[in-house]
Structure 1
């Protein structure tokens, strides 16, 4: 009896632990990327902290709501590739208000994708090799940051990289969080935070009046929408379906899009379905009974409420730290995403060359008429693919 009761208690606690783990890993492995992305497109430290806070609350609201309504382990996250896109894009004309306007447009497109099936199918029809190649191009320069950090600050960067590599061998899931902790210790010891950095670490939501510009819509909103759908929402659905769940797609996209819109007014970029941490909530590790796994995603949502309280401290710490070390941690966190994107981009021989064109253009940093390289990479690869298809059809005739 005692053994049976202990086993039942352990089983009941299993999804709770899985949900807490998903929240901790999801936040610790990518919050620096989010803050760096917001800062790069013009956010002040206070606005970046507000954006991180809004995203955490958005994840909590959608995650809790969808888990309770669907009784499925619908895990929600922010768009890490989207944040990497912001870093690659850099400062834009119109500053952070223009970026916020782009966030709103991207959120609206996600809602439309959920409500209007032809549009959703059109988005899904974007060749995955090109979308993956665009994402790989966005991530490439950021993934070089650990190497640059080793060259510029070897004594500080080496322990971070070694901690990541050793933990990767022992417990892969914790490699990036451990690197974050080591980076935090090194930054605290080697580069003491100035007095102002921790002066006001409590969450302070800051409303940002959006400005809508064509450059920001084309250079940020459209690529942000595409990478979020291709690298977060669609893989997130795949994780659910591979574990035996078949949720209605429309409510998932509409709810994440609407909450993304609200978060945008306070500096957040996109809330979407989780891809990597989704497996922690939807897989058998969360609970033997698939009907009970929703508790894991529900717990993740609740955990993000508490995590949101620390958004101000995280933003202050990142703002006061040497940028190259923060970028190095972000680069380590994105290496697996880069690898997956490159594999997907080069998997089909007939689309390999257009994918390479997309990749090198997106990675080039090219900016034409204020529009960033991610958009032009997709255009270049798509044009070559269309030309190649036209040439093949002409040859067959």
Structure 2
């Protein structure tokens, strides 16, 4: 079992807040890795929020390959944050030689294209860079490309979370690396091979998701999703299916947000028939039955518009709690995480989502609980 967490703030916050949320939950994860997605960036990226940001860990040759590819296709670098890493001996981290967090301007021909065309370009570029770095045998020989999207930064690393934070100096709140939304997990993907791509959170075209649990319908999800969208690739973790379903329901099908929950944990047929939208729910279940999940699961997701959501499997077999104060909201597997980052909140207003609940936090930190 692992632990998940997220922080949403009205003002930019450093990664140390997310780390303080996660470390008290240490008994629930195995200290095998740390990963985070930061959205709505400030600090070093405050003036480049509309420029796609490449997040990559690589070898020197990998960086050369990427630089040549981007230059050939007309992407011009405009800004970069280079972490001042702490290389002292004794830190438990399987560090890569290079870390690239770089903003690019769009190729000239795309600057006046539609938003959808630019977003497709960014997806196709990320997939191409991933293949470029993978090498002939499919292994990531030269590096890993985690995201390429405006106003989003992704970091994934293997090792002890506290040591990873020390290596990247994430404990130092110097204002260079801050964001209003941070989703994180402190565990590598130990159910399968240790691959950086398998570490939560996962990202696709503005959608971020991390999960705590097992998806026993992984094979059925994966085989169906492979035919739905070119971006549904990798499948290094069973939890990636939850992200791809979120993307498919909201972006591709353009269904309202509550129907994501209806797809992954549909109501019993008798309950559907009693609802005003019962016919739609039945059609949805029949057409997307292969996207249903099973097994213990809790998830946190971040949407392109900044809203944060969380929900569980229908039997509520994984822990989850939501809390807030006047300027910050947080989601965690355990309440000790909330106590660490929101010690002065009114704990009596904390929400423990049930198996049929979805909790959504908007950009004003209004928390809404919706039930199937």
Q: State the TM-score, normalizing by the size of structure 1.
A: 0.24
Higher relative CO (Cα under 8 Å, sequence separation at least 6) belongs to 1
Return the TM-score normalized by structure 2.
0.25
Structure (1/2) with the larger helix percentage? 1
